[in-house]
Amino acid sequence: MAGIESDPLFGNPEQIERTDPSEYYLRFNFLFETTTDHYDWMNRMIAIGTGRRVADGIDYEVFEIL
């Protein structure tokens, strides 16, 4: 499950097409919480991401920090 906090620019679908990507940036830091042993390694992971708004949501990439 992912939670994203956003401002009105990204919450209004009508703004997507009218917003020039050079006028904003999306950066993420991820916190994973799981109780499943199979995914326990994610609890210790530090990850960041970058993204952009697209018509049907957010297109993003996630990178693990070693």
pLDDT tens track for 11-58: 566 666 667 777 888 888 988 999 999 999 999 999 999 988 877 778
pTM: 0.60
Give Dmax (Cα) for the chain.
45
> Model confidence at 1, in pLDDT bands (50, 70, 90)?
very low
Q: What's the Cα-to-Cα distance from 59 to each of 16, 22, 40, 44, 46, rounded to whole Å?
A: 13, 15, 26, 25, 20
What pLDDT shows up at residue 55?
Answer: 74
What pLDDT shows up at residue 39?
Answer: 93
